[in-house]
Structure 1
Amino acid sequence: MRQYNEGSGIKVLDRAVAIARSVAAGDKTLAELSDDTELPRATAHRIATALELHHVLARNDHGEWRLGPALSGYAAGPSPKLLAAAAPVMRELVAATGESAQLYQLTGSTRTCIAAEEPESGLHNVVPVGSRLTLAAGSAARVFAAHAPIDAPFDTADLERVRVDGFAESVAEREVGLASVSAPVFGPDGTLVAVLSISGPAERLRPSPAGKWGAALKDATARLSAEL
């Protein structure tokens, strides 16, 4: 057992850091987490569950605690290589579709727009770079939920369909009058690194944004994933 004596005077914060530090050294069952931090099981479970809610911790396939996506997302920020590879792909996508394109990364309990391209004219959707959007609605949120351990209000069948199809779509879900289709961008190890979206006025993309631009989007994300 390890004692975590360096305290800030804020007990719950010190305990949360102790739990995160313990899990960072290796996945832990509740019993192992309690033993390693010398916290009562009920206390360890309560704090670990709260950290899971904020995506600092997550569970592996065996139910053990592991580090979640929040810390790496906050620390890393957008990769210069990802941004450089995405720029020409997104420009070509906008030129081909006449709609806006956005690139999102997971940032804790939100998704953040890290790159955006807009058509030169016409009515289009604008998402400023740096905008943090919900993980509870929209096609990009569905893609994150299908490929990352996050809490989201989508059913299992819906997310399985996203994984099989390779994209997700939404019409007037996150915002009235807005529609979008999104697809995952994978790194060399097969993990999700970003989500690329095409978005625009719902009246132009109805009845199915995926039916209209899904194939072009999947081609773009395949090229972007290959660049990485």
Structure 2
Amino acid sequence: MGQHSGIGVLDKTVAVLNAAAAGPAGLADLVERTGIPRATAHRLAVALEVHRLLARDRDGRFVPGPRLAELAAAASDPLLERADEVLAWLRDTAGESAQLYRRDGLDRVCVATAERASGLRTTVPLGARLPMTAGSGAQVLCAWEPPATIALLLEQAEFSDRTLAEVRRRGWAQSIGQREAGVASVSAPVFGTGRQVIAAISVSGPVERLGRSPGQRLAPVLAAAAQRLHAGDS
């Protein structure tokens, strides 16, 4: 069930929320993803639905509810408050477009970006939703997830469990034409408290400019940028 606060019912409730955030979930899916007994998972999911923290899709599966967006809109976000400054520094240092992604269920969302002012660019618009199945940003956001979530995401992924193990070992990911032909990218995790990955910071550009092994060259500057974002989040 991931992290434990010591308050059992709270941990189980958060586990159910996370399970629904991983993709539309029937009761059997909630049980499989959380390991919580069926009756308990059902009781918690229905209670969360009453409070609009979960909702149902047209097939009756549990999905994140509208109250989550309302709470998010009311919250300050130290990560985003620092993102523009840090991404601009990363873009200027690396010489390529920079992006910040957060996971949203089976997608990753570009929550901040800094584009090159000129030359050939790999534009990712702010708010763009990209799949969690390809690209270095997806690898980073997937690599530190609980095993059950990783298994779910790997079902359609262009990368393997072995790739994710290597990402965790070295602390960064790279992809060459994995999500889009001719595009290379390198990404690093942004950690929050308890070594939880809260975002992926990325640099992307044409393969002809980044080359086919950009990770070793760009990983140190990405790690520095990620650390600056982590400091802003603490």
**1:64 is matched with which residue?**
36
| 1:220 is the counterpart of 2:225 | yes
Letter in 1 for 2:33: A
Q: Say whether the 8 Å CA contact 2:173–2:187 is kept in structure 1.
A: yes
Contact 1:104 1:111 in 2 (8 A): yes
2:184: which partner in 1?
179
Q: String of CA shifts for 1:49-80, please: whole Å, max 9, x gaps.
A: 4458xxxx833xxx337899x74996337953
Establish whether residue 139 from structure 1 lines up as the match of residue 118 from structure 2. no
Gaps of 5+ in 1: 1-22, 34-45
Residue 107 in structure 1 maps to residue 104 in structure 2 = yes
Partner Cα distance (2:105, 2:145) in 1: 11
Give 2:164's match in structure 1, choosing from 152, 159, 164.
159
C-alpha contact 2:184 2:212 (8 A) present in aligned 1:
no
Aligned-residue RMSD, C-alpha: 3.0
Which residue matches 2:4? none
* TM-score, reference length from structure 2: 0.68
Unmatched segments (≥5 aa) in structure 2: 1-7, 17-24, 46-53, 55-62
From 26, 30, 35, the counterpart of 1:47: 26
Matched letter for residue 169 of structure 2: V
Measured against aligned partners, the alpha-carbon deviations of 1:3-41 in whole angstroms (never above 9, x if no partner) come to xxxxxxxxxxxxxxxxxxxx975539xxxx9xxxxxxxx
Q: Aligned-pair distance for 1:47?
A: 2.4
Residue of structure 1 aligned with 2:78, choices 78, 81, 84 = 81
Identify if the C-alpha distance between structure 1 residues 91 and 85 changes in structure 2 by more than 3 Å, giving closer, same or farther.
same
Contact in 1 for aligned 2:78/2:232 (Cα 8 Å): no
User: Which residue type is aligned with residue 36 of structure 2?
Assistant: E
Instruction: Report the equivalent of 1:194.
Output: 199
Moved more, 76-85 or 180-189: 76-85
Structure number, greater radius of gyration: 1
SS at match of 2:26: helix
- 3-state secondary structure, aligned to 1:189: helix
How many residues in Structure 1 have an aligned counterpart in Structure 2? Answer: 182
**Structure 2 Cα separation of the partners of residues 179 and 72 of structure 1:** 35
Q: CA–CA distance in 1 between the matches of 2:136 and 2:218? A: 13
| Residue 27 of structure 1, aligned match among 7, 12, 32 | 12
Among 118, 121, 128, the alignment partner of 1:121 is: 118
C-alpha distance in 2, partners of 1:188/1:160?
21
Q: Alignment partner for residue 175 of structure 2, among 170, 176, 191?
A: 170
Q: Percent identity, aligned pairs only?
A: 39
Partner secondary structure for residue 58 of structure 1: helix
What is the alpha-carbon distance in structure 2 between the residues aligned to residue 137 and residue 223 of structure 1? 26
Please tell me whether the aligned partners of residues 205 and 212 of structure 1 are also in contact (alpha carbons under 8 angstroms): no
Relative to structure 1, is the Cα distance of residues 208 and 120 closer, same or farther in structure 2, using a 3 angstrom cutoff? same
Give the whole-Å Cα distance in 2 for the aligned partners of 1:136 and 1:104. 14
Hey, what's the Cα distance between the residues in 2 that align with 1:86 and 1:166? 20
Secondary structure at the aligned position of 2:168 is classed as helix
Match of 1:6 in 2: none
TM-score (norm 1): 0.70
